[in-house]
Chains A and B, each alone.
Chain A
Amino acid sequence: MANLDPETVADVIDWNTFGQILEMDDDEDDREFSRSIVWNFFEQAENTFTQMDTALTNGDLDQLSSLGHFLKGSSAALGLTKVKNSCEKIQHLGAKKDETGTTELNDPEFCLKEIQTILESVRQEYAESESFLRKYYDSEESGSN
């Protein structure tokens, strides 16, 4: 993994958290467990984004909030901080609060618009994380470990 220096890594993923999962791997070459978790996450994230698109079209803030919360949980568990933060924003905005979740907003339109913007950026953040993780596992496989 020569192309991954610590700073880049820290930017994309919280290794403290992700490391916990890695450590549960029985076999460092296979990394079966963590690999399954990560790949499941990929699937889950992509599904969630799709569902968010739908909910956005339907103006369904509740659903958006719930989806945001849902993905927040798993992205947090994997240490994907940026994705998690964006999901949290969506969660709050879907609940008609400001993105920090502290103040109530009475503007559904605004919330929807905000969510739309954030959805774009979270997709990018996710893509970044996905790419990193795939590279990580690729290099694990190629035995550079």
Chain B
Amino acid sequence: MDRKRIWVRRPHGAATTVLVSASDIVDDLKTALIGKYATSLGRTHDAPDISIRMSHASPSSGQHSPHGRRKRRGDTVRRELAAALDPHIVSQQHTHQPGSPSEEDDRVLQPDEVVFALLDKFFPTGMSMQDAFLVEVPDDIMPVASHNRVPIAGVLTPQEGVISDDDIEFLRGHIPDIFHAQSTQSLPDEATYHLQSNRHGLEVLDQQQRASSADPYGAPPYLPQHGSFRQSHGHVHRKQTGSPASGRSGASGPVSIPIVVSSTMTPQISTQPPSHPGPSRPQPQPIQQHVDARAIHSAGTRGVVDDEGRVGRARSPHRTASPHPHPLSHNHQHSHSHSGTVTPTQQTQTQSHVNVKSPLQNVTRYEGDSASSAGRDSSDVERETTVTPINTNIKESKADTSEKKDNSDEKSVNGTGLKEKSSRHREKASQQVSLGSGLLFDGVVPPVKVLIVEDNIINQKILETFMRKRRIRSGVAKNGREAIEKWREGGYHLVLMDIQLPVLSGIEATKEIRRLERRNRIGVFVDEDAGNIKEDDVLPPHRFKSPVIIVALTASSLDSDRREALAAGCNDFLTKPVNLVWLERKITEWGCMQALIDFEGWRSWKGSDDAEKDANGSSTSNSRSRRPKAVIRSK
């Protein structure tokens, strides 16, 4: 059977050919095209979704100047966009050419049409490059707020105007796809949309997100300071005009947000590694895109990482303190601040190995951090290192929750998985709505038990609820003495120890716990005469696999206090009032380490958790059930 060659091209793309057989219909052609554009369209769209447009076919093809052809194609694009913007616009001037002025030859091809028949009818003398069919996908047409912003194979000039929330919704829904689209061709032209949005617009957006979810961008811990999309073609650029519009400095006015909408975007977009005190981790690139794009949206109102690159929770008072309820309702979003705490935990964090190291690294690093965190209250430090697909929580999965995430994240990196992920996350989002503080860990937290030692019942309640929402088991003690007793019951992986406690101070309690551990040979440091242990000091061995991690909650940020806590045997510290985003991070980092060590404990926990779930009859889709498949015992 003879095959014929037909020409196709992407909007603004170079023309290319595919071979079709006599029995092929347009649907087959689409399949072939997906293969042809495997790295761009193929990653984000299915064959049926693409549309093939024939335009300006002429029996006398080839006789028109290339220039004229191109112009007409531009017209086609413009018409399409105009039509998209305003359905009432009647497409006029279908063709400029004489010959076959019927509408028939400028239309989208139907899947059941036989390709050969089309060729015979419209290209009897054969198809030339200029006749190339246009391969389009729905995303190619992006409505924008103003009708003036019709992209015509070039850069849009910034238009004054507000981006409506609908637009942002739309964009957010599509940007991930676009980011993933990768064209193998080099496109000289790139439609770059400069969207001007005022703070309010974005503010509203953020408000919505926060309202509907546990604030993906509540405080993403990481916000790459100078995120820059680096494209293979060097087109991309992301600018944040003006200083970080943090609430502190009073957000500036309109922020220009260039959003590159082109298929030349490669996944190699990278952002500056956020400098934060946590473990450094390689960020999966595609996810970065989301971060940045997302950051783009939010950066306007929220500002970014502060000068030191410290990540801290930053919330613009305007955003959080909104006395103006916004009627808009977004049905998505959960931002997860990542900060190390990146809320969206959809990222692939392959750092199991780093986890073990990180808490130790953190200890020393936090010294410095706390210094700055002291000023946390007054400084809006951006902790928006949430990386999530735009239309879902942007969370960066913390390293800790890695294992489970690895597989699913890998998939998402490819782009095709992203959509699934998005919807999965959206489901999750609804379950995470009230996790609080934009800590969207996507429900993935280490299966540990935490002892909360706080004398003020209000603080106790806050921490307890925090734990409960994350399905972390917890116990409470109101002074040092109680703390030791509770701890002795066993099963605690982490202790949040308020340093200033009545009866027995936190410092004293810590010292005592460490002493008992040494006496009982729990952990690395063992007393020499541990053999002669007093009866009172004995602890049931099976419940104490490793020394408990003690995180001191210090009211002051004085170095001396911190050092005292560390010297007494604390592993880490947080200053009060406790920033829940940081707390989550600590729990994750330390907790995962502990969970790895206490594999048996995890297993029995998991057993009881599953039983619980069966009893409840509902799957809360707590990712913990999908928890570490391979927990390697580090013994």
Contact = CB atoms under 8 A, between A and B. Distances in A.
Asked if A and B bind, the verdict is yes
Contact of A16 (B315, B461, B576): B315
Interface residues of B, number: 45
B462 A17 contact: no
9 contacts: A4-B323, A9-B317, A15-B317, A24-B435, A24-B436, A37-B462, A73-B456, A73-B555, A74-B459
Interface in B74-97: none
Interface of A: 1-2, 4-6, 9-10, 14-17, 19-21, 23-28, 33, 36-37, 40-41, 44, 66, 69-70, 72-74, 76-79, 81, 144-145
B320 A16 contact: yes
Given A16-B377, A19-B315, A73-B455, A145 B214 contact: no
B434 A72 contact: no
Contacts of A4: 323
Max chain B Cβ within 10 angstroms of own Cβ: one of A9, A74, A78, A79: A74
A41 B456 CA distance: 10
Main SS of chain B's interface residues? loop
Contacts of A14: 377
B325 A144 contact: yes
Contacts of A17: 377, 577, 579
Given A2-B323, A9-B317, A73-B455, 12 more contacts: A1-B324, A6-B318, A16-B314, A16-B377, A19-B315, A19-B321, A19-B437, A23-B434, A24-B434, A40-B458, A73-B454, A76-B576
A5 B323 contact: yes
Contacts of A1: 323-325
B428 interface: no
Contact of B576 (A2, A33, A66, A73): A73
Given A16-B380, A23-B215, A26-B434, A70 B455 contact: yes
B210 to A, nearest CB: 7
From A14, A28, A41, A79, name the one whose CB has the most chain B CB atoms within 10 angstroms: A14
Contact of B437 (A20, A27, A70): A20
A73 B380 CA distance: 22
Interface in B426-445: 433-438
Given A73-B459, A77-B459, A25 B434 contact: yes
Contacts of A145: 325
Interface centre among A1, A9, A73 (most CB of B within 10 A): A73
Contacts of B469: 24
B458 A37 contact: yes
Contact of B377 (A74, A81, A144): A81
Given A6-B318, A10-B317, A23-B218, A72 B323 contact: no
A6 B318 CA distance: 6
Given A23-B437, A40-B458, A77 B578 contact: yes
B433 A77 contact: no
B465 A24 contact: yes
Nearest to B377: A14
A36 B210 CA distance: 21
B48 interface: no
Contacts of A77: 456, 458-459, 462, 576-578
Given A2-B323, A145-B325, A40 B457 contact: yes
A6 B323 contact: yes
Nearest to B325: A145
Nearest to B318: A6
A19 B377 contact: no
Nearest to A26: B434
Contact of A10 (B321, B436, B502, B577): B321
B370 interface: no
B155 interface: no
Nearest to B580: A20
B500 interface: yes
A28 B211 contact: yes
Interface in B194-226: 210-211, 214-215, 218
B315 A15 contact: yes
Contacts of B211: 28
B434 A20 contact: no
A78 B498 CA distance: 17
Nearest to A76: B577
B320 A19 contact: yes
A139 B462 CA distance: 23
Nearest to A102: B558
A139 B362 CA distance: 42
B466 interface: yes
Contacts of B577: 17, 76-77, 79
Given A14-B377, A19-B315, A74 B323 contact: no
A30 to B, nearest CB: 11
B313 interface: yes
Nearest to A3: B323
Contacts of A37: 458, 461-462
Contacts of A41: 458
Nearest to A81: B377
Nearest to A33: B465
A26 B435 CA distance: 8
A57 B579 CA distance: 37
Point out which of A14, A77, A144 has the most chain B C-beta atoms below 10 A from its C-beta: A77
B434 A69 contact: no
A31 B12 CA distance: 52
A17 B210 CA distance: 15
Contacts of B458: 37, 40-41, 44, 73-74, 77-78
Interface in B276-331: 313-315, 317-318, 320-321, 323-325
A38 to B, nearest CB: 9
